[in-house]
Chain A
Amino acid sequence: GEDVEQSLFLSVREGDSSVINCTYTDSSSTYLYWYKQEPGAGLQLLTYIFSNMDMKQDQRLTVLLNKKDKHLSLRIADTQTGDSAIYFCAEKRPPGGGNKLTFGTGTQLKVEL
């Protein structure tokens, strides 16, 4: 399909792990990104993964990439209330595609006490 797809909503308890999923569109996309957006704010770059990698870990964040299924996931360990936000995945399509990022519609993560 043409759209980057994400589930709309995820609710977890504080201290649990969160897993946010994304299906992207182009199997030859070079970079895949996760951004965080808090209410009324811009986008914060959390992490990104190059397409020749399967996994990337950065402190509490783990990104898994399945190129065959065009599936990307973000795992947040020990989720805190400050992690409540909207999370966007984005893809950067093949080389020569400039800097254009194609975003999903976002997953709203709610962390409950």
Chain B
Amino acid sequence: DAGVTQSPTHLIKTRGQQVTLRCSPKSGHDTVSWYQQALGQGPQFIFQYYEEEERQRGNFPDRFSGHQFPNYSSELNVNALLLGDSALYLCASSSKWRAGDSYEQYFGPGTRLTVT
């Protein structure tokens, strides 16, 4: 049973560029959430996708956008990169959104983004 997978593992970009990160949820899961973890900090919630729609959003600017595909995989896009966007980007998957209160979230290994 495959867990949550993310690609790429590492990425180096220049200020002003755009980046796309990818996530495949754990088998049987239909909800994907994205988090940003700056060095020495806990993860911060970016947004959550279910049924190909953004359902909830944290305190992040519109430069951060996402997409969910019919197979439940997801992409995180960041435009106009800033040095402060350098972080570990984590994807988490879960299920039972319809029950209103899914409780198990499993994280992928993350994508380390460095902006120079």
Interface on A for B, CB 8 Å cutoff?
A: 4, 30-31, 33, 35, 41-45, 48, 50, 88, 90, 92, 95-106
Contact = CB atoms under 8 A, between A and B. Distances in A.
Given A42-B90, A42-B109, A43-B90, A100 B45 contact: yes
Contacts of B100: 95-96
Nearest to A102: B45
B32 to A, nearest CB: 9
A98 B56 contact: yes
B58 interface: yes
B15 interface: no
B42 A106 contact: yes
24 contacts: A4-B42, A33-B105, A41-B109, A42-B4, A42-B6, A42-B108, A42-B109, A44-B107, A45-B106, A48-B103, A48-B104, A88-B43, A96-B100, A98-B48, A98-B56, A99-B33, A99-B56, A99-B94, A100-B56, A101-B35, A101-B43, A103-B44, A104-B42, A106-B42
B33 to A, nearest CB: 5
B66 interface: no
Nearest to B102: A99
B55 interface: yes
Contacts of B24: none
Nearest to A40: B112
Nearest to A44: B107
Contacts of B108: 42
Contacts of A97: 56
A31 B103 contact: yes
Contacts of A101: 33, 35, 43, 45, 92, 105
Nearest to B111: A42
Contacts of B106: 45
A12 to B, nearest CB: 21
B101 to A, nearest CB: 5
B111 to A, nearest CB: 10
Interface in B22-44: 31, 33, 35, 40-44
